[in-house]
Amino acid sequence: MIRAFIVSAGLVLAANCFAQSPAPAPASTPAPAAWGSLSPQQQQLLQSHQGEWNSLSPERQQALAKGSQRWLSMTPQERAGAQQRFTQWRAMPPEQRQLLRQRFQQFKSLPPERQQQVRESFNRFRQMPPEQRSELRRQWRQMTPEQRRYAVQHGPLHAAPRAPPHPPAHAQPPARHNSR
């Protein structure tokens, strides 16, 4: 779940860089950006929008300008990762995209400390050997919804204990009463 939150956040962030719909308007409406105010690199990156630039909303212009600036500041490895996430995003059905947007909003509504905990958990997960990650996924799939909620709220190290399938070997059998 934690991994899903972080992956969702990364996908939504990558999608926001390239999305064709306008971003939500901030409290104050930004001034329209003139095409000539963009750097030559930004203009080259956004050339497909040049003909329509003046008809775009100021919010959309600002989002495109900000996204292009962020893209230009990325390393080649970061760009490759962003492009891969964008390709994955575009391949998703609309329902799955909407679910990921909702999960991202849930993540953003968490207190900053909890967001940081989620990020740290995800980073620890990514650093695990593949076998250990597979085992954690398997355990997650076997958890009940209540156990999952508990694990998400309290962390995997404090997950609700599962009842053993049978009594431990050292447990005494229940006493029998003979009625003879």
Please enumerate, as own/partner, the contacts of 147-154 that have beta carbons within 8 Å and a separation of 24 or more.
148/1, 151/1, 152/1, 152/2
Q: Which two tokens stand for residue 38?
A: 């963009």
Q: Between these two residues, 172 and 111, which has the higher pLDDT value?
A: 111
Predicted pLDDT of residue 158: 47
In this model, does residue 163 exceed pLDDT 70?
no
Predicted pLDDT of residue 93: 96
In this model, does residue 170 exceed pLDDT 50?
no
Cα angle: 12, vertex 65, 5; to 5 degrees: 10
Q: What is the largest CA-CA distance in the chain?
A: 102
Q: Could you give the C-alpha distances from 10 to 36, 102, 122, 124, in angstroms and in order? A: 31, 13, 12, 17
Residues above pLDDT 70, as percent of the chain: 69
Q: What is the pLDDT of residues 112-132, one digit of tens each?
A: 998 998 899 889 999 999 999
